[in-house]
Structure 1
Amino acid sequence: MASHGNPTSFAATVFDYIIVGGGTAGLTLAARLTETPNITVGVLEAGLDRTSDPKVLTPGFAPSMWDDPDYDWIFKTTPQIHGNNRVVSHPRGKQLGGSSAINFDYWTHASQRDIDDWGELGNPGWSWDELFPYFLKSETYNPPPPSTSSQVDTTFVSPPLHGITGPVQDSFPPFYDNFYKSWEPTYKNLGLGPTGDPKGGRAIGAYTTLLTIEPKNASRSYAGTAYWRPNAGRKNLVVLTGALATRIIFARDKGVLVATGVSFTVDGESYTVSATGEVILCAGAFQSPQLLELSGIGDASLLKSKGINLVYDNPNVGENLQDHVYVPLGFEAAPGEVTFESLRNETNLAEAVVDYTVNHTGPLASGTSNAYISFSQILDALSKGEQSKHGKPAK
């Protein structure tokens, strides 16, 4: 069921902007556009509003949402020929906030070079210098208390590189286990520590990752709580959840193709909503091209084979997706050490839930760490290891 708005009244409203997808991009755009009171925005989200759901708000519960159809689209690849025919899962958030509601809460950014390369490929405005002010605008950095800094090194953080008034809260989690306390000195001994604050876009090396966690109660800070809930009362913003977009409606204005509305379904009933300004597609890397194809924009031969009327032939739509994979390695832990696996034990889980609920700490209040390490750093560390093994002094 839709948990916000009514599909009949939503469809009867002519909005300035229709945003398809209430994820990170969609909710951010909706919040920014409706800062102007006379601009009306309607958001279509196929998932529900789970901004009060403990499973979403508790950082340690993130993996429990994967492969759950109430939270995750459960996308999977075809068997990968060069990966021993393995099928790789692609968790994607099915709810307000999108994938920011089910990820590991990392607060990380691309390098300056990567972002500048986007601009050089022909995308004006996509440069580090032009985007960095918006990085600051989105963030509130919460400095660690002494109790946290005594457990891990937080000295690499350069406060001027972080925002202090943005809607997304980030902090160092209040709990670090013994594995992490071993991991940090290990990478430093190998010469793989951070060369600066990664937020500056130039540093490399392993480091203690800031997480999008509200330090007041160790809860997830994400698009749903940062951009939707504070603005839910705006009269010029309507969010319809449980609404699956099925097609973009197009018209031609003096020969130019113009998006004028969106068809969608709620509880099996079909509706159409119109926009006088723009239809903004924010359905993610998988469903944005899918919706374009369903709407007649894509490879003409493919659309014809599926019985879809061609609106515009663009063979690039839906093709050439590349993504990295997450490859975990499992090790047997010593007795008594707390791991995510140990939380399968009902007693351990109950203790962790109490610790999180009452004290806002413990394994459920934490996350994982992260590292950006260059090949040159790795080769240098391996070289030093070989020299040490053979009794040669390391340089």
Structure 2
Amino acid sequence: MAVYLLLIIYLAFISLGLPDSLLGAAWPVMQSDLSAPIETGGILFMMIAFGTIISSLVSGRILKLFGTGKVTFVSVLMTAIALLGFYFAPSVIWLIICAIPLGLGAGAVDAGLNNYVATHYKAHHMSWLHCFWGIGASLGPIIMAYFISGDNSWRNGYLVIAGIQFVLILILFFSLPLWNKVIHNSTHSIPDQNEDEIYLMKDEPIKKIKPTQIKGVKLALVSFLLYCGVEATVNLWGSSFLVNIKGLNAATAASWVSMYFVGITAGRLITGFITFKITNRTLIRSGQITALTGAVILLLPLSAFFSLAGFIIIGLGLAPIFPCMLHETPSRFGRKHSQTIMGYQMAAAYTGTTFMPPVIGFIVSHTTMGVFTICIVIFIAVMILCSEKLNSLLKTSQLLKQER
């Protein structure tokens, strides 16, 4: 039964990924159809992410009251209804209204499933879990590109994605009894190798230490904010960059951005196997350097073909970073604080998702879309600096602990 539950969790992450990449792929056509300014896409993106932040902050109480299975079912149901609302929406105002439940539906289930897998499963399961998110995120632009290139109808793309969500809802509904059986029967969890004071500011008992006082927590939060800011910004403005700077049509641009998500998906599938031999820390560093390489390729004045390569390389680089950082949480800061810190990290991640893309949208609307690539390079470079500083702090703390 535990295997079946894990498969259902994977399916739930497909449902999380499907809507995440739709708006960026469809916005060049939606903007024209609705006669909206380009920065409106950032506002919609921000409303979706804002709903996700709210639901993630209250996810602990909700999950405790109703259980992960029921919360997952209701969350996916909310996203399906919201996507159906996008199909029927007659104006931007209605899109903004529908964006709220779309975001609310993602937050609680995302935080709950991430914490569950980080606590009870090994690193390769976390990578594969987010690989399934990538499958959903990759399918979204592909489906949207099909309808945009056919009859130029972004609405039909949203309708099909909503239909897929409703199929997943049926699967989740009939699997609800399985969650309780597995949770009550399962005793498996990853052994905690850091139960004592880990990376603390002072020699005090754990109960007196607040999570934010633990060395490196703030750097970890900044890293999550920047990572999700990069991922979301490339997602939202990638198609617009290809249309406005590289001269591609909207359908081709959406297809090329889908390759970005294919890179993330394939990278996470491969990462799941690599984690058997390579540590999370090494994978995070390698992914960041790879993503920076792809961003520099986008920045350089090369032909459109190199832009496709740049998107794929960025996707491959980003692939291991997020799941490996999540899985490192108990090891970095101790299991006694991991659930609280996981919530902080998810809040920081959604903050990056919420504010960075619209900020970039505001900047490019008053300058040029070419600024998009400069910002991506800067964000990744700062993320690398924060991550390396965190590694240095943790290494120093480990050495001090060994000397005691």
- TM-score (norm: length of structure 1): 0.24
- Structure showing greater radius of gyration is 1
Greater relative contact order, per chain length (Cα 8 Å cut-off, separation 6+): 2
- TM-score (norm: length of structure 2): 0.24
Q: Where is the strand percentage greater, Structure 1 or Structure 2? A: 1
